[in-house]
């Protein structure tokens, strides 16, 4: 293709069998595309960074924010979400940049500072972009949405992927709910520290043992299902397999057990302990929460009923135990740290397109509903579009699915109108990018799996809204907003 402008170029071809999507490769002339991109590295205020600028730069900068890095683990700068998307975008003319952040763990405050510092460095070293997009995965999705809210004058659009979009308050409170059920109902759980945690590693080890013991009995599995249900943890874990049948409660609970042991307990306890140190106290509360009502709203409600019945266990008794258990109050000063880092107010000023898998048990798809609700309450629906992939796993997208979503955002910026966002169109776009990009990193072939979906309400949808200047009225089926 001779030359590339700053717009994505897509070609629709009509064929007798229907509408087919042809995709221009977005590549520069071979003489330019063959040149290695200009690479800049360095450190800003303790944060390593990486910048790559292709010879055929089209004027658009994609600023990537990476996910959570466990304290003590290697922390390197990344400027793309995977090894396939980055080279493709560079060849298409896009500049890429990413910061490692100066700290690991719940590094939201550092990430906001370090990303803006990186934008300043890019402008000084390369030139001011015509267009800047914030995009990121997992905690990086949360950061990207936060950058769009906090610094709308520095960005033209944002693509948060698998992000913590219920905001810090909602996220941590729902984590507390699942941990609270485990503490109150699992044999031996009463000594499990779930707030003001002195040693995160020790707490995770204790919880892993409790959960493993519970998994060995029908009663324990029923209670683990209840712990999953109050947080809407999906009963689907394997991204290469379809979800269990709607009445296969054993398989659903087995998947939730994997979510707990493989990832979630770390976030309930280890990362909470790290966050409490940053915030200066306990950041979560369950005062006023009715877990019976939370179960009734849950996507896992029927599973819990089925497993309790199969175990010959009284669900009413366990719910009464939860209802009478002493409640946990938050430290208002610590909560303020989360408000700053970050609670979403819905006041979008730039276009935002989000991407989420339906079977994500680390960051449930209901986080998207929470984000959409606050945007709707602020009257900014026209600036938001959300896309969903029918697959289990956290951030388990193919490169083609990410690029297809990015196209939707770029189209909005180019034309002022959102392009068609239905699943069939998105899947056609992804498929047209070719089999080499329809891979789940590092190398698992997968067909595009976009789906039209409306997520269930977030388990605690009032948490973020009660912290806005004018608390919104509760949605149907909710309690009144709970404010400190």
Q: Which domains does the chain have, with CATH numbers?
A: 10-161+344-453 (3.40.50.1820), 168-338 (no CATH)
Measured in degrees and rounded to the nearest 5, phi and psi for residue 468 equal -80, 170
Helix axes 301-311 and 218-229, enclosed angle (nearest 10) = 160
1-52 tens-digit pLDDT? 333 232 222 222 222 222 223 333 333 333 444 588 999 999 999 999 999 9
Residue with tokens 């972009």: 129
Do 282 and 196 contact (CB within 8 A), yes or no?
yes
Closest CA to 143 of 183, 118, 112: 112
**Percentage of the chain lying above the pLDDT 90 cut:** 84
Element (H or E) spanning 89, and its range?
A: helix 85-91
Residues with Cβ < 8 Å from 15, sequence gap 6 or more?
A: none
280-291 tens-digit pLDDT? 999 999 988 999
Residue with tokens 């390197």: 76
Element (H or E) spanning 352, and its range?
A: strand 352-359
Average pLDDT over residues 411-428: 95
359-385 tens-digit pLDDT? 999 999 999 999 999 999 899 999 999
pLDDT of 418 over the 70 cut: yes
Closest CA to 275 of 109, 147, 66, 141: 109
pLDDT of 293 over the 60 cut: yes
118-177 tens-digit pLDDT? 999 999 999 999 999 999 999 999 999 999 999 999 999 999 999 999 999 999 999 999
């Amino acid at each position: 293709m001779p030359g590339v402008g700053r717009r994505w170029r897509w070609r629709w071809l009509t064929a007798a069998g229907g509408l087919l999507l042809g995709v221009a490769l977005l590549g520069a002339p071979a003489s330019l595309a063959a040149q290695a991109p200009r690479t800049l590295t360095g450190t800003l205020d303790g944060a390593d960074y990486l910048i790559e600028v292709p010879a055929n730069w089209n004027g658009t900068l994609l600023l990537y924010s990476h996910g959570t890095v466990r304290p003590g683990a290697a922390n390197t700068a990344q400027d793309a979400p995977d090894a396939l998307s980055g080279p493709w975008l560079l060849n298409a003319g896009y500049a890429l940049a990413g910061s490692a952040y100066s700290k690991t763990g719940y590094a939201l405050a550092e990430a906001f500072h370090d990303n803006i510092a990186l934008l300043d460095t890019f402008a000084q070293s390369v030139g001011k972009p015509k267009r800047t997009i914030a995009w990121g995965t997992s905690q990086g999705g949360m950061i990207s949405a936060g950058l769009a809210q906090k610094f709308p004058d520095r960005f033209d659009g944002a693509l948060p992927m698998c992000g913590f979009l219920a905001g810090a308050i909602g996220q941590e409170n729902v984590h507390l709910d699942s941990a609270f059920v485990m503490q109150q109902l699992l044999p031996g759980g009463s000594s499990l520290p779930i707030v003001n945690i002195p040693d995160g590693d020790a707490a995770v080890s204790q919880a892993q043992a409790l959960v493993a013991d519970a998994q060995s009995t029908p009663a324990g599995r029923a209670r683990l299902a209840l712990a999953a249900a109050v947080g809407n943890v999906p009963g689907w874990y394997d991204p290469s397999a379809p979800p269990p049948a709607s009445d296969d409660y054993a398989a659903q609970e087995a998947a939730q057990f994997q979510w707990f042991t493989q990832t979630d307990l770390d976030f309930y306890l280890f990362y909470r302990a790290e966050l409490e140190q940053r915030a200066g106290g306990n950041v979560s509360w369950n005062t006023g929460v009715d877990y019976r009502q939370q179960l009734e709203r849950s996507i896992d409600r029927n599973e819990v009923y089925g497993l309790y019945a199969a175990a010959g266990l009284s669900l009413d008794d366990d719910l009464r135990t939860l209802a009478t258990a002493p409640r946990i109050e938050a430290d208002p000063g610590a909560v303020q740290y989360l408000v700053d880092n970050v609670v979403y107010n819905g006041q979008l000023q730039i276009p935002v397109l989000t991407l989420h898998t339906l079977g994500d048990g680390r960051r449930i798809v209901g986080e998207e509903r929470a984000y959409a609700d606050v945007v709707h309450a602020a009257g900014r629906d026209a600036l938001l579009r959300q896309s969903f992939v029918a697959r289990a796993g956290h951030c388990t997208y193919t490169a083609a699915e990410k690029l297809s979503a990015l196209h939707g955002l770029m189209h909005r910026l180019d034309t002022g109108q959102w392009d068609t966002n239905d699943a069939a169109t998105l899947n056609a776009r992804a498929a047209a990018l070719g089999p080499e990009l329809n891979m789940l990193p590092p190398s698992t072939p997968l067909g595009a799996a976009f789906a039209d979906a409306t997520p269930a309400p977030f388990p605690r949808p009032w948490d973020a809204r009660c912290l806005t200047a004018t608390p919104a009225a509760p949605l149907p089926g909710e309690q009144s907003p709970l404010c400190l």
